[in-house]
Structure 1
Amino acid sequence: MTETRKTFTRAPAGERREALIRATLALMAEVGPAAATVRAIAERAGISQGMIRHYFQTKEDLIGAAYEWHMRGLTGATDAAAGPVGGSARQQLARFVAAALTPPVIDAQAMSLWAGFIHMVLRDPRMRAVHERTYRHFRDRLQDLIDAALREAGRPAPPALARRHAIACNAVLDGLWLEGCALPEAFGPGELTGIGLTAVAAILDLDLAAAGAPSTKAGTA
């Protein structure tokens, strides 16, 4: 009997690095963090185990890169779903809030991955640093939109107040995102986005309903 040797793909360095990250995320989503062994990741990515160290010194470095990729991807998906820049500052803020609470951002697998990573944040300083960077990345994007909307309304906020607004609004979105991902059937069409827009509007004392936010089916995922 002849032995079939595993063949590995040759691809540009950037593609191989991305393949390793995607393989890590896929394995974690399918069967949990424990299943994301170096061997399993390499096989899923079609890359030899030895090549992994060419891109990541340790498995922990790869896990950290996967976490950052995942979280920045959610922010990117929110921006993409919000649509191109245009309209008033309030409209841009309303679209961003609505996008953060609708598919593809509302997604059970995305939440499952987040849950798999988050326990590592408490015990690994590297993961904590990734968490802080990605949290600030989303919050800073939200703060920029809030700042622009308040300026447009003739109520520019000092940086410290704009930061507090962003923290509060981000907390609202985080909570609704978790519930929407975990229990999508518990919410009617547009219910999550409606709650999110109402809450953010109350925090900022802005009329976001008049901004013409899109009507979306946030209750489905």
Structure 2
Amino acid sequence: MDALQWEDVVARRIPAAQRRSDFINAAVEVIAIHGIEGATTRRIAEQAQANLALLHYCYDSKEDLFADVYEFVAGKFREVLTASDPHSDLMATARQLLRGVMEFYLESASFTAAALELISWAGRQHGNRGIEVYDQALETARAVLRGASSDHPVEPEIINQIAYVIAALADGFALNWFTYGDRSAATEQMDISISVLDSWLAARLGTAPVEL
């Protein structure tokens, strides 16, 4: 048995779910570096340290793999937003949601690059995958915000507006971080973005802005 055959035997002993997870993570890394068009199955298999046959054993097609990649991205946004919930009042919750997403972007450069590429590519292809990712992230943010305002309910439109502002500020931060890759500047821009959110919330909710 040659080395390639032995690798294939060993790899097949790893649960399929784990292997699919490996390929999804590898696809994110490859997309971050090469973009959608350059994310070939061969590159993804190499990134996952697996042979190409194993990738095709786990996925019937590249489209099936990318469907899981989109779901992974949407799930990661849900996970980050939920984990950022401070279980506090509306204003504190809004600013922590924004900070949580920006901190995740800062520490996950490959994810940031891949998410931007996936969403923009889906838009260019007139597909709804990117819209679904965005919609799911917004709905998670709205759910967390609704929970924070349960003791002092606000109009649904205000919740929608807060979620939109958080998304807009986070998107701007992500694009700047992706473009320049300057960690020191990005750290300062996080504080600026949060101060912008605080000022907007103060004006919208009629409360005093939080001092940084």
TM-score interval, normalised by the smaller of the two chains: 0.7 to 0.9
CA RMSD of aligned residues (A): 3.3
Query: Aligned residue for 2:135?
Result: 136
- TM-score by length of structure 1 reads 0.72
In the TM superposition, what whole-angstrom CA distance separates every residue of 1:18-59 from its partner, at most 9, and x where no partner exists?
111122122223444344322333344354544444543321
Aligned equivalents of 1:188 and 1:143: distance in 2? 29
> Percent identity at matched positions?
18
Select which of 159, 164, 181 maps to 2:161. Answer: 164
Select the structure with the greater relative contact order (CA < 8 A; seq sep ≥ 6): 1
Select which of 23, 28, 31 maps to 1:28. Answer: 31
In the alignment, is residue 92 of structure 1 matched against residue 93 of structure 2?
Answer: yes
Aligned equivalents of 1:179 and 1:168: distance in 2? 17
What are the equivalent positions in structure 2 for 1:115-130 lying under 5 Å apart? 115-124=116-125, 128-130=127-129
Q: Is 1:29–1:112's contact at 8 Å kept on the other side of the alignment?
A: yes
Q: Is 2:119–2:129's contact at 8 Å kept on the other side of the alignment?
A: no
Q: Is 1:29–1:109's contact at 8 Å kept on the other side of the alignment?
A: yes
CA shift at 1:148, angstroms? Answer: 4.0
Q: Is 2:86–2:96's contact at 8 Å kept on the other side of the alignment?
A: no
What is the identity, as a one-letter code, of the residue corresponding to 1:14?
A
Aligned equivalents of 1:183 and 1:149: distance in 2? 35
| Closer/same/farther in 2, CA of residues 200 and 37 from structure 1, 3 Å limit | same
In the alignment, is residue 114 of structure 1 matched against residue 115 of structure 2?
Answer: yes
Structure with the largest fraction of helix: 2
Select which of 195, 200, 203 maps to 1:198. Answer: 195
Gaps of 5+ in 1: 216-221
What are the equivalent positions in structure 2 for 1:1-221 lying under 5 Å apart? 4-6=3-5, 7-8=7-8, 9=11, 10-80=13-83, 82=84, 85-102=86-103, 104-106=104-106, 107-124=108-125, 128-152=127-151, 154=152, 156-157=154-155, 159-185=156-182, 188=185, 191-201=188-198, 202-203=200-201, 204-205=204-205, 206-207=207-208, 209=210
Aligned equivalents of 2:181 and 2:82: distance in 1? 21
CA shift at 1:183, angstroms? Answer: 2.9
Return 183-192 or 36-45, whichever deviates more: 183-192
Q: Is 2:24–2:69's contact at 8 Å kept on the other side of the alignment?
A: yes
| Closer/same/farther in 2, CA of residues 52 and 195 from structure 1, 3 Å limit | same
Q: Is 1:98–1:197's contact at 8 Å kept on the other side of the alignment?
A: yes
Q: Is 2:119–2:131's contact at 8 Å kept on the other side of the alignment?
A: no
